[in-house]
Amino acid sequence: MRWRNSLFIKIFLWFWVVVFVCMTVATLSFQWLQDNYYRPLQVREQILLQRIAENMQPLKIKKRGLWRRLEPGWNIVRFDESKLNDIPHDIAEFYEHAVAEQQSLWGQEDGFVMMGPLVHRNQIYIAVSRYHWRHSLDEGERWLIPFLVVVMVSLLCGVLAWHLTSPIRRLQQAAKKLSAGDFDISELRSNLNRGDELGDLSVEFVEMADSLQRLLQSHRQLLRDVSHELRSPLTRLQIALGIARKKDEHNTLQSEHDRIERAAGQVANLVTQILDLAKLQQEGELTTERLDLVRLFKVWLQDAELELASKNLTIEWQLQEQEVFCPIDVVLMQRAFDNVLRNAIRFSPADGVLTLSLNKQGQQVSFTLCDQGPGVSDDKLEDIFSPFTQVDQSRNHASSGYGIGLAMVKRILNMHHGDVIAKNIIQSGLCIEWSLSDRSKA
């Protein structure tokens, strides 16, 4: 990176540009507001004064009323040095100032502009104008000068602030997308060619995002590969188990065979869940329909009647409306509902109550399922939605489903542009709450 593209150099130079502009405007404003101002006559102004004296008819000198008789533009006044007391005070004062300086001057006296003196044939000529750029503003409007200074400085500082904060805002947006698992950070591309420190930071950020994406993809690919590789030995194990059962004619090893079958079934179920989660993590379009969630959830509850009956669990509904419509992918939403429901059944004590609430406010649909189990430590409430999270001993591997189910729920809700959270109940139990948006009405 060359030094002129450095952010430090840009800020440093911009600071001095602002200082220079402020000093320039302050100097001009001082001259503007100053009632009496003189400077040496320039060459072009001397030529102009000569032409005015040669070509214009001099005004008649009167001590009073001269200013009211001035024509637009330049006027010429002619007088004799011995009659200074007969001319207006402003012109006499300007002439005396020029004599003291021993040179022709351009100046303003009480708001009128004068050039001179020019001595020709023992006569003194002074050019006078009633119009001057200073008088485009009257005395009551001079507040516009500091206002314009503030506006100019604000514009310069605003441009600098925008130049600095615009790439920072794009970095912030990219960081939010990255934290949500979205690696499409194309908005940073415009930062890459800046050539300053923010451009270098954007380059590093994009490279970091690419590395994270490759790492995540390799992690997912590893899970898929391992899961596929486990299916073959599992199949052979199940075949061998079937052969062993046939050879055990007297069922002397039935209990051992049953334990092997249960363990193999758990591993097979885990492999299936891993593959399902891997499929969900691949971006894909949903097949959505706007359906009544109350009716669907009640139908899906019937599929779990055996599990509910095995622990004598009671379902308690809390509904504000009898119908709650929302666009969903039925297959995926049923999978999410089943995971949450069976998770609650697994941890609920016998003769317990499962509380289900389904409400809609505006376009937001909220669903909550609460059990009466042991709950989860507060520091694990967010972690339980990650795969293979080890929670406390009350929810061990034997009963937690190896931490895949809730990860699938979170992914399904995210695909529906929703969210899911877990909350502990003060008395005892855990609530899983998810929110959906009725986007079809937006």
Give pTM, 2 decimals. Answer: 0.52
Residue 3's pLDDT is: 55
Q: Give the per-residue pLDDT at 138.
A: 46
Report the distance separating Cα 144 and Cα 377, nearest Å: 65
Going by C-alpha positions, the residue among 335, 233, 345 that lies closest to residue 277 is 335
Give me the pLDDT at residue 248, please: 79
> Which residues of the chain are modeled with pLDDT < 70?
1-7, 28-37, 61-69, 109-111, 130-145, 281-285, 390-403, 439-442
Query: In the prediction, which pLDDT does 4 show?
Result: 59
Closest of 391, 388, 401, 390 to residue 265, by C-alpha: 401
Q: Which domains are delineated in the chain?
A: 34-141 (no CATH), 289-441 (3.30.565.10)
CA neighbor of 191 nearest in space, from 212, 221, 171: 171
Q: What local confidence, expressed as pLDDT, does residue 431 receive?
A: 93
How far is 388 from 440, CA to CA, in rounded Å? 35
For the beta carbon of residue 347, count every other beta carbon within 10 angstroms.
20
